[in-house]
Structure 1
Amino acid sequence: MSIPTSGSTSATYQIVNGRIVTPTQVIDNGVIQVENGIIRYAGTAAEAPAFSPALSSALQADSAQQGTDAAATVTTYDAAGGLVVPGFVDIHVHGGMGQDFMDSSPEVLDTITSFHASQGTTAILATTMTAPHEDIARVLEQVHAYVRADRMPGAQVEGVHLEGPFISPKWPGAQNPGHIVLPNVEWLEEWHAAYPGLIKQLTLAPEREGALELIRWLREHQITAAAGHTDATYEQIMDAVDAGLNHAVHTFNAMTPLHHRKPGVAGAVLGTPAIHAEIIADGIHVHPAAVSLLAQLKQDHNLILITDAMSAAGLGDGNYMLGDQPVKVINGVATLPEDSGTLAGSRLTMIEGFRFLIEKAGLSILRASEAASGNPARQLGIYDQTGSLEAGKRADMLILDEQMELKQIFIKGNEFVYN
């Protein structure tokens, strides 16, 4: 297994000669200054202030103790005209490198988060499957302990996304239909009491009995209520929006489609600004034209790139598991073994999805960056900390070359190296 490590440089440095992607513009010949892992300046070279870590009292004290010159410790990275973008935030991902979040342990979590960090993801939601109560509870226990230990070497786990088990048996996708149950507020109350703030998103079928009550509870507790694996009508989705639903998982997949007389879930997602729309931009789950259409309609911070990656991400064709469901991967496409028409997650990475949005769906670099970083950070409520290159935010950043290949990765200011 590859071992993730931090780079040898300190978390105080500057990046020069980059095309800096800010929330509002791409700045040519830009500069980013980072001090103690926090962005202090992101803008033009011409307007950049004089930069020396000697301005930091902490660094001054450390330098004095070691008998060194603080200014001499400044490292400069040359982006060589490449893009500098905020780290990606993946809110819907099941695993990678042969591991699944449903099997969470410190080692499994290290493996998954380090692999996805190597692909540009700096913040992540551990996503579960439709499973029995005790299996979900065990994942929550493991992830809670992992986050509290505060030793995450890769993508920072910001919480858990529960995908199910309150979904529709008519649209299970690759979820195990034997574990589907009706919405149960008591389960959420139990888990929230045990692990307050850990659950960030719940995917459910809004048409199921008890769903509206659960949606109201979720919104009262600042948890994203998401429609997915659902047989709902357009009208049922709008009722759910009134109750607090504000998100749709893997738009177009595992939901009632758009028809001119029956708009369905897809129609409700397309036409309702209050619904933030996830998209798997791999050219397998959704045609590029449909991705482009969705992007044209979701221009108010409500388009979100996800991977929905499962354990095969980072590996080749073969047989894998998604939760307790066997999956086959042939020519890079993951499906159920006996049903090649049912997609079972993906092998997508965020850097691949970012490039797809630009090269295949026609989004601008700004829009693609917003979908991959800013919008999911906003939906998670962590946009004040990460998701954009602005002063005061933690230095979660990627340097890309002219072909938009990853060159360097920084998480909380530290260079991330994946050996």
Structure 2
Amino acid sequence: MMAVTVLKHATIYTGLERIEDGYIRFDDKILAVGDMFDYRAEAGEQIIDLQGKTLVPGFIDVHAHGGYGFDAMDGDADQIDKMATAMMEHEGVTTVFATTMTQSVENIDKAMSGVKTAADRNPLIQGVHLEGPFINVQFKGAQPEEYIQNPNAELVARWNELSGNRVRLITYAPEDEGSQAFEDYLLAHNIVPSVGHSNATREQMLHSKATHVTHLYNAQREFKHREPGVTGHAMLEENMYAELIADGFHIVPDMLRLAFEQKGPERIDLVTDSMRSKGMPEGESELGGQKVFVKDKQARLADGTLAGSVLMFKDAFHNAMAFMGASVGEAVMMSSVNQAREFGLASKGTLEVGKDADINVFDPDMHLIETYSYGVKHTTKA
């Protein structure tokens, strides 16, 4: 049986409220959380005084291809396991959706099998995000064109089975032939349809059942004064959750702030869209068989196209406050609360009794110093 730990005298952002001087008691699950005025010590618990520290829920990244030398598309279960663990130890990500990209059916098969084996032993991996191959050639971004195809529910069923029914999110182009029946299939199987790498018009989007937009602004029909496009549609529709890559490169700070002011903190999911180069030295790397060059915190193909990111989630959390003007509580919503709500992660997203003890600890200067995953403490690695 796991020992009981109490963190006390901390400022706690539960995802629902802010507790100025609070405590949280947990083993692998949260047993109690509240104001220090109500705290009563219990026999056998380990008490840690965190005066001046801040606690927030563990981060949830629903769009992460790789990092630390690893990539989900490699299909190597040991490496996918290590990748997820490194994201937790370096960035405070306590839940991740292993993300694929447009590739051959055989390569995606291999990735799904690898993710299943890794997720069976590493509960940090809570789902799969299939980014492609059902996308539009005109907005392929860094996705290899030769493997792009129209929406195919049979392939999704195959990949979902191979992953152990872990596919939770699919990026596709709703303007492509067969997309409406495809959307119906996704919704019937608890998979969120996400418009991305798409040339859809506002009119086409109004007939789509997509409720999520992959990396808002990037690789999609742009917002223009005579055609709102994918970006404008996502801005206008309250039901749409919008991913933001808050590195300051994929989206300049002013446009991050515009999205925040238009959508509000309740409908934004911070993501990294990170690739294997994250956490590694600058230089040449690889994405889907393509050479990628990393310099000045940016990853680009040889032609200059942005190719995923090397963004750490803890930096996205800070950037939400610095670039968007979000409060800590609003940053928590965009980092944990929204993702748990949108994807039905019932034991994640907030610091409440009965939830998994996934907790990030920040020092007085708001630097991440510790992460508790299922109640186990990990000192943040540089």
Work out whether the TM-score is over 0.5.
yes
Structure 2 residue 184 is matched with structure 1 residue 216: yes
Mapping of 1:391-406 within 5 angstroms? 391-406=353-368
Mapping of 1:244-263 within 5 angstroms? 244-263=209-228
Q: Cα 1:297–1:13, aligned 2, differ >3 Å: closer, same or farther? A: same
Mapped to 1, the partners of 2:130 and 2:162 lie a distance apart of 15
The residue that corresponds to 2:96 in the other structure is 124
Superposed CA RMSD in Å reads 1.6
Q: Per-residue displacement from partner, 1:160-186 (whole Å, max 9, x unpaired)? A: 100000000001101111111111111
The residue that corresponds to 1:61 in the other structure is none
Secondary structure at 1:360's aligned position in 2? Answer: helix
Mapped to 2, the partners of 1:22 and 1:236 lie a distance apart of 39
Mapped to 1, the partners of 2:197 and 2:219 lie a distance apart of 5
The residue that corresponds to 1:82 in the other structure is 53
Q: TM-score scaled by structure 2? A: 0.96
Tell me which amino acid in the other structure corresponds to 2:103. Answer: A
The residue that corresponds to 1:365 in the other structure is 328
Shift of 1:205: 0.6
Secondary structure at 1:46's aligned position in 2? Answer: helix
Contact 1:93 1:127 in 2 (8 A): yes
Greater radius of gyration (CA): 1
Mapped to 1, the partners of 2:115 and 2:78 lie a distance apart of 11
Mapped to 2, the partners of 1:353 and 1:202 lie a distance apart of 22
Contact 1:130 1:163 in 2 (8 A): yes
Mapping of 1:19-418 within 5 angstroms? 19-34=11-26, 36-48=27-39, 50-52=40-42, 71-72=43-44, 74-118=45-89, 119-148=91-120, 150=121, 152=122, 156-240=124-208, 244-299=209-264, 301-337=266-302, 339-340=303-304, 342-382=305-345, 384-417=346-379
Q: Per-residue displacement from partner, 1:355-391 (whole Å, max 9, x unpaired)? A: 0001221001111001001111112210x20111111
Shift of 1:51: 3.8
Shift of 1:323: 2.1
Contact 2:97 2:127 in 1 (8 A): yes
Shift of 1:257: 0.9
Secondary structure at 1:395's aligned position in 2? Answer: coil
Mapped to 2, the partners of 1:190 and 1:26 lie a distance apart of 44
Tell me which amino acid in the other structure corresponds to 1:268. Answer: H
Q: Cα 1:111–1:193, aligned 2, differ >3 Å: closer, same or farther? A: closer
Mapped to 2, the partners of 1:297 and 1:15 lie a distance apart of 37
Shift of 1:113: 0.9
Mapped to 2, the partners of 1:379 and 1:141 lie a distance apart of 25
Mapped to 2, the partners of 1:109 and 1:136 lie a distance apart of 14
Tell me which amino acid in the other structure corresponds to 1:202. Answer: I
Contact 2:15 2:349 in 1 (8 A): no
Q: Cα 1:20–1:418, aligned 2, differ >3 Å: closer, same or farther? A: closer
| Unaligned stretches of 5+ residues in structure 1 | 1-8, 53-70
Shift of 1:251: 0.3
Shift of 1:238: 1.4
Contact 2:245 2:273 in 1 (8 A): yes
Q: Percent identity?
A: 33
Mapped to 1, the partners of 2:76 and 2:125 lie a distance apart of 13
Tell me which amino acid in the other structure corresponds to 2:79. Answer: V
Shift of 1:37: 1.1
Q: Per-residue displacement from partner, 1:296-327 (whole Å, max 9, x unpaired)? A: 22237321000001111111211111122211
The residue that corresponds to 1:3 in the other structure is none
Shift of 1:406: 1.2
Q: Cα 1:235–1:130, aligned 2, differ >3 Å: closer, same or farther? A: same
The residue that corresponds to 1:18 in the other structure is 10
Q: Per-residue displacement from partner, 1:335-374 (whole Å, max 9, x unpaired)? A: 101x11x100111011000000012210011110010011
| Unaligned stretches of 5+ residues in structure 2 | none
Question: Which aligned segments of 4 or more residues in structure 1 are displaced greater than 3 angstroms?
Answer: 192-196
Contact 1:94 1:126 in 2 (8 A): yes
